[in-house]
């Protein structure tokens, strides 16, 4: 069995300091890259080795099925999973065979592993044990796969060891791997070619790595020196150049402008009192959701004309107010600067759910002594501000290429569905549509030749045996999988949008065939068509 000791034998986070981050040494990184590729240590190889049950369980932070699958497996892929993901303490020879070019000494020099003295199982299955040298990981090293407009991505990402490996709460300056929020931001970010990109609060650097594929220059900032060290290691390991700067929020880029700003900022709402642990990667050190408000107030001067910003956030919701009260207030300086804004609430939790979610995220469970006091502190903090729920979603900004006399556009909506494909192209088109539609009056819209998107289909609901439908819907296959209710006139107009005729010509023809008053039809149909253009169901 490659791993002889349980991960939970590590000391809890409060009992020791966070380990030093990995180090960049070019020759050793070349050897490491070669070994990881040869193993192979890729997302597909790990998935194939583990099988769907163990792989999916591991994604839910349940390592038991994976340990069972890997128990007697000494192939390099299995050994690397044991070492860097499951936190096993392994024999030296297994690590040497899994990393033949780098070697154990090279892995130690890079700060990836350490030698320890551990309890080993007795030979022959006896009850006794012996003290023996073992090797265990100091950091997590995981394969990462994705795809974008430029093709497939295969990287390796280093971060601090997860709770799966340590069996203990996270350090306060923990550097997170590629979590759910990071994946979300990567998937919604448009990937068209741009000049300068800012990854604000870069953590281990995953957004900056993605941006490097479609930008001339990427600047990545973070308050945490440990996070920047991990970002530097990840960039070097994957052969990517980034400019890394230390500092809080926008301070490191004062006076500079960017074509794209991406940020997964420390938006978690955490009590400032009550002994609740603060984690640098997620807690902004502010009361309530103030950090996002401060960031949005300072952001406008940093966007060039035509530039965009995308970020994730949480916002507090009171029982007697709409969900968008806080985001709407945050956006006032953005709109005053002429920047269009689009906010989507994707999900929400009540105050108790939120406290449970983020305590567990820090490795604190109901079995820990700190759990009751942390929950009390969170609930007292929310109660003090009348907060009953917390929303999560996307904030997306775009400065028009040229100022508009009618001012900026703002859209706030709740959207929970998701269609097929990625959201990045859809988000980019939606931001551009806000600007295009604001410049297009009704006469210009009627003179245009819109085209129905290829993923849009019509769905009709009929009572069995009846000819006329009770309900007509236009349904989007991609994007946010929107469904729009139609009447017969709108259905006929949308069905004819193939770019051959102008919208005005199509509407006139439909009204002639249905005896519909054309003036009334315009008043009803044009706002609906504008919404369908904004949501990429129809393209100009």
152 falls within a domain? no
- Does 322 lie in the same domain as 276? yes
Whole-number Å distance between alpha carbons of 236 and 31: 12
- Does 429 lie in the same domain as 452? no
Instruction: Assess whether pLDDT exceeds 50 at residue 15.
Output: no
The tally of domains found in the chain comes to 3
Containing domain of residue 461, as a range?
Answer: 442-539
Q: Which helix (H) or strand (E) holds 259?
A: strand 258-263
Calculate the average pLDDT of the chain.
90
- Does 419 lie in the same domain as 304? yes
429 falls within a domain? yes
Q: What is the pLDDT of residues 482-519, one digit of tens each?
A: 999 988 899 999 999 999 999 999 999 999 999 999 99
- Does 367 lie in the same domain as 482? no
230 falls within a domain? yes
Question: How many residues are listed for the chain in this entry?
Answer: 540
**Mean per-residue pLDDT, 315-340:** 95
193 falls within a domain? yes
Greatest Cα-to-Cα distance within the chain, rounded to the nearest angstrom: 93
Instruction: Assess whether pLDDT exceeds 90 at residue 328.
Output: yes
- Does 452 lie in the same domain as 431? no
Instruction: Assess whether pLDDT exceeds 50 at residue 179.
Output: yes
- Does 178 lie in the same domain as 56? no
DSSP 3-state of 396: strand
Q: What is the pLDDT of residues 196-246, one digit of tens each?
A: 999 999 999 999 999 999 999 999 999 999 999 999 999 999 999 999 999
Q: Which CATH number goes with the domain that contains 211?
A: 3.40.50.150
Provide the pLDDT for residue 133: 85
Whole-number Å distance between alpha carbons of 245 and 223: 9
Identify the domain boundary among 438, 464, 495: 438
370 or 66, which is more confident: 66
Instruction: Assess whether pLDDT exceeds 80 at residue 125.
Output: no
| Beta carbons of 246 and 186 less than 8 angstroms apart | no
- Does 447 lie in the same domain as 423? no
Q: What is the pLDDT of residues 69-85, one digit of tens each?
A: 999 999 999 999 999 99
Positive or negative, the Cα torsion across 89, 94, 100, 103?
Answer: positive
DSSP 3-state of 509: helix
Strand runs labelled E in 44-98: none
Count of H-run helices and E-run strands, the chain: 20, 17
Provide the pLDDT for residue 304: 98
Share of residues in the chain with pLDDT > 90 (%): 74
Which of 481, 433, 496, 479 is CA-nearest to residue 525? Answer: 496
Identify the domain boundary among 397, 422, 438: 438
Of 126-140, 198-212, 273-287, 379-393, the one with minimum mean pLDDT is 273-287
2 falls within a domain? no
213 phi, psi to nearest 5 deg: -80, -15
Whole-number Å distance between alpha carbons of 468 and 461: 9
346 Cβ contact partners less than 8 Å away, ≥ 6 residues apart: 392, 393, 394, 415, 416
Instruction: Assess whether pLDDT exceeds 50 at residue 536.
Output: yes
- Does 345 lie in the same domain as 228? yes
Provide the pLDDT for residue 14: 39
Instruction: Assess whether pLDDT exceeds 80 at residue 312.
Output: yes
Which of 464, 524, 441 is CA-nearest to residue 490? Answer: 524
Q: Which helix (H) or strand (E) holds 246?
A: strand 243-246
Q: What is the pLDDT of residues 77-117, one digit of tens each?
A: 999 999 999 999 999 999 999 999 999 999 999 999 999 98
Instruction: Assess whether pLDDT exceeds 60 at residue 436.
Output: yes
| Beta carbons of 214 and 193 less than 8 angstroms apart | yes
135 phi, psi to nearest 5 deg: -120, 130
- Does 191 lie in the same domain as 98? no
205 phi, psi to nearest 5 deg: 100, 15
Whole-number Å distance between alpha carbons of 133 and 62: 28
158 falls within a domain? no
């Amino acid at each position: 069995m490659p791993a002889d000791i349980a991960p939970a034998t590590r000391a809890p986070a409060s009992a020791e300091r966070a380990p030093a981050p990995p180090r960049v040494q070019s020759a050793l990184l070349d050897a490491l890259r070669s070994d990881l590729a040869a193993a192979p240590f890729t997302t597909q190889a790990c998935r194939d080795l583990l099988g769907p049950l163990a792989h999916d369980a591991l994604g839910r932070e349940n390592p038991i099925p994976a340990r069972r699958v890997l128990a007697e497996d000494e192939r390099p892929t299995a050994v690397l999973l044991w070492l860097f993901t499951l936190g096993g303490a392994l024999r030296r020879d297994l690590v040497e065979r899994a990393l033949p070019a780098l070697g154990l000494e090279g892995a130690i020099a890079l700060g990836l592993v350490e030698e320890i003295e551990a309890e080993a199982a007795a030979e022959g299955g006896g009850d006794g044990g012996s003290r023996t040298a073992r090797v265990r990981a100091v950091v997590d090293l995981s394969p990462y796969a994705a795809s974008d407009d430029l093709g497939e991505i295969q990287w390796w990402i280093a971060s601090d060891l997860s709770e799966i490996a340590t069996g203990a709460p996270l350090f306060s300056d923990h550097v997170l791997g590629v979590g759910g929020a990071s994946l979300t931001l990567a998937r919604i970010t448009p990937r068209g070619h741009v000049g300068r990109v800012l990854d604000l609060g870069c953590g281990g650097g995953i957004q900056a790595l993605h941006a490097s594929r479609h930008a001339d220059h990427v600047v990545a900032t973070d308050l945490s020196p440990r996070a920047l060290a991990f970002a530097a290691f990840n960039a070097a390991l994957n052969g990517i150049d980034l400019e890394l700067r230390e500092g809080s929020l926008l301070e490191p880029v004062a006076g500079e402008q960017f074509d794209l700003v991406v940020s997964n900022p420390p938006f978690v709402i955490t009590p400032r009192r009550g002994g609740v642990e603060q984690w640098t990667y997620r807690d902004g050190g502010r009361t309530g959701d103030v950090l996002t408000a401060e960031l949005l107030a300072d952001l406008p001067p940093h966007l060039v004309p035509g530039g965009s910003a995308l970020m994730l956030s949480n916002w507090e919701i009171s029982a007697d107010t709409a969900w968008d009260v806080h985001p709407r207030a945050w956006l006032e300086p953005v709109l005053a600067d002429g920047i269009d804004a689009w906010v989507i609430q994707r999900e929400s939790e009540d105050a108790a759910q939120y406290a449970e979610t983020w305590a567990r995220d820090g490795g604190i469970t109901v079995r820990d002594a700190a759990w009751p006091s942390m929950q009390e502190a969170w609930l007292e903090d929310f109660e003090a501000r009348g907060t009953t729920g917390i929303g999560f979603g996307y904030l997306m900004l775009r400065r028009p290429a040229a100022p508009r006399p009618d001012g900026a556009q703002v859209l706030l909506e709740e959207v929970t569905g998701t269609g097929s494909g990625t959201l990045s192209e859809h988000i980019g088109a939606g931001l551009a549509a806000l600007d295009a539609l604001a410049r297009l009056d009704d006469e210009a819209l009627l003179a245009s030749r819109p085209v129905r998107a290829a993923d849009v289909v019509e769905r009709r609901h009929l009572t069995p045996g009846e000819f006329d439908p009770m309900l007509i819907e236009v349904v989007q296959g991609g994007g946010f999988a929107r469904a729009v209710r139609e009447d017969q006139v709108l259905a006929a107009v949308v069905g004819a949008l193939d770019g051959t005729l102008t919208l005005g010509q199509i509407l006139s023809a439909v009204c002639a065939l249905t005896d519909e008053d054309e003036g009334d039809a315009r008043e009803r149909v044009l706002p609906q068509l504008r919404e369908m253009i904004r949501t990429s169901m129809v393209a100009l």
